[in-house]
């Protein structure tokens, strides 16, 4: 029997997917005053969340708020939802949406993607998959991204994220629900940049994990992060993103967190590759999905179509394919020839400052102004 839902002051929301990030975001929403129902594919997991207020497999040691409810009945979970959050593996999203669609035909609730990936075969971002599969107005769709390692947030360590939608109103509505004492949300309308930032940093994190597994040090990793930000920005801008989005929480912020933390699934997957494990062995060892592994091929296809050079990501693919020794990934990250080149900054332009300097300066300005200096990411 499903426990009675405890009334909440905020909106009634449903989180579809009860992995580490879905459950953590449910906790964020509940701690912000929302009434939260988690949908879990496995009945036993739904029961544990609903009755014990724990998710021992994905968030060991974390006590969930008493206001969180859970069920494995999707129709029941969606009943009366004011907001719908999606947190399933990116490559299964379309399949899940086919099940979801008839259940929300009469709903106008905002649909929020918590996923960071692109679909194999189509190369579509998650918001595009949602729009096409549900045939809904893009103004109803939002995405959440930022430096958000699930276990740290579940432990209530302070951080921030970006809620992005082509509709400022939708972004602000979701941001008001998804904030609390330890989790602050900013908003923007650059969905392309916000989504691609969350996807691309995973690929750079795999590269960082590879060189970490090999045993290379901080110089190598700093070079990859710096040049990786350039690749991320060049790619995203080629597809219509604003460059400053990649210098904010959804780009640089997420890149730093994902690259430096052992909690990162993509970093862990890369480290196993660097230690000599093959692709299938890495997949077998990972308890959760490392979205970066699935996104390498479609991102490189999109880069080829836009004529964007991504040497770091290309070499990650070579390691995945077994055509490059992991130890060989570092010496030629920047260029394939010996001609001295300028240090390109964001979207292919060179100047005396550089993308990374401007990004850090922007972060310092935000701290100095108490967050008021950001024009694009607004709380």
- Catalytic annotation, residues: 201
- Runs of H (alpha helix) within 92-167: 93-100, 126-134, 150-154
CA distance 4 to 2: 7
Q: Are 35 and 11 in contact (CB under 8 A)?
A: yes
Strand partners for 163: 144, 187
List of residues 6+ apart from 373 with CB closer than 8 A: 362, 365, 366
DSSP letters spanning 309-339: --HHHHHHHHHHHTSS-GGGSSTTSS-SSSS
287 Cβ contact partners less than 8 Å away, ≥ 6 residues apart = 57
Return d(Cα 300, Cα 321) in angstroms, integer.
Answer: 14
371: left (phi over 0), alpha (psi -120 to 50) or beta: left
Kindly state the helix (H) or strand (E) to which residue 164 belongs, with its residue range: strand 159-164
User: Hunting for tokens 């060892």 — which residue is that?
Assistant: 285
Cα 325 to Cα 322: distance, rounded to the nearest angstrom: 7
Paired tokens of 108: 């106008």
A 10 A CB-CB count for 374 gives 18
Instruction: Choose among 334, 314, 312: nearest CA to 323.
Output: 314
Of residues 299, 110, 125, 290, the one with CA closest to residue 187: 110
CB 151 within 8 A of CB 328: no
């Amino acid at each position: 029997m499903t426990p009675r839902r405890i009334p909440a002051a905020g909106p009634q929301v449903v989180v579809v997917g009860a992995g580490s990030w879905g459950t953590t975001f449910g906790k964020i929403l509940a701690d912000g005053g929302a009434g939260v129902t988690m949908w879990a594919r496995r009945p036993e997991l739904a029961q544990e969340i609903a009755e014990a207020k724990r998710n021992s497999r994905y968030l060991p040691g974390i006590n969930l708020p008493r206001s969180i409810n859970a069920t494995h009945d999707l129709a029941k979970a969606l009943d009366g939802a004011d907001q719908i959050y999606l947190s399933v593996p990116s490559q299964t999203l379309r399949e899940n949406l086919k099940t979801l669609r008839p259940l929300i035909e009469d709903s106008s609730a905002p649909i929020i993607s918590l996923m960071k990936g692109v679909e194999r075969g189509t190369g579509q971002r998650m918001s595009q998959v949602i729009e096409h599969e549900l045939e809904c107005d893009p103004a109803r769709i939002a995405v959440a991204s930022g430096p958000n390692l699930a276990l740290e947030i579940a432990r209530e360590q302070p951080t921030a994220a970006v809620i992005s939608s082509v509709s400022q109103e939708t972004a602000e509505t979701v941001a008001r629900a998804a904030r609390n004492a330890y989790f602050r949300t900013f908003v923007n309308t650059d969905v392309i940049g916000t989504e691609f930032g969350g996807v691309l940093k995973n690929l750079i994190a795999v590269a960082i994990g590879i060189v970490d597994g090999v045993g290379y040090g901080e110089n190598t990793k700093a070079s990859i992060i710096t040049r990786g930000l350039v690749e991320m920005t060049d790619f995203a801008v080629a597809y219509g993103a604003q460059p400053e989005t990649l210098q904010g929480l959804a780009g640089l912020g997420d890149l730093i967190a994902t690259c430096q933390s052992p909690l990162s699934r993509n970093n862990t997957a890369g480290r196993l590759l660097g230690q000599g494990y093959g692709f299938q062995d890495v997949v077998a060892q990972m308890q959760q999905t490392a979205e970066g592994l699935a996104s390498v091929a479609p991102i490189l296809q999109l880069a080829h179509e836009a004529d964007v050079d991504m040497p770091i990501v290309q070499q990650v693919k070579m390691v995945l394919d077994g055509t490059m020794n992991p130890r060989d990934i570092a010496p030629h990250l920047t260029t394939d020839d010996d001609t001295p080149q300028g240090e390109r900054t964001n979207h292919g332009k060179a100047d005396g400052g550089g993308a990374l300097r401007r990004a850090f300066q922007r972060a310092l300005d935000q701290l100095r102004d108490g967050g008021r200096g950001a024009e694009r990411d607004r709380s």
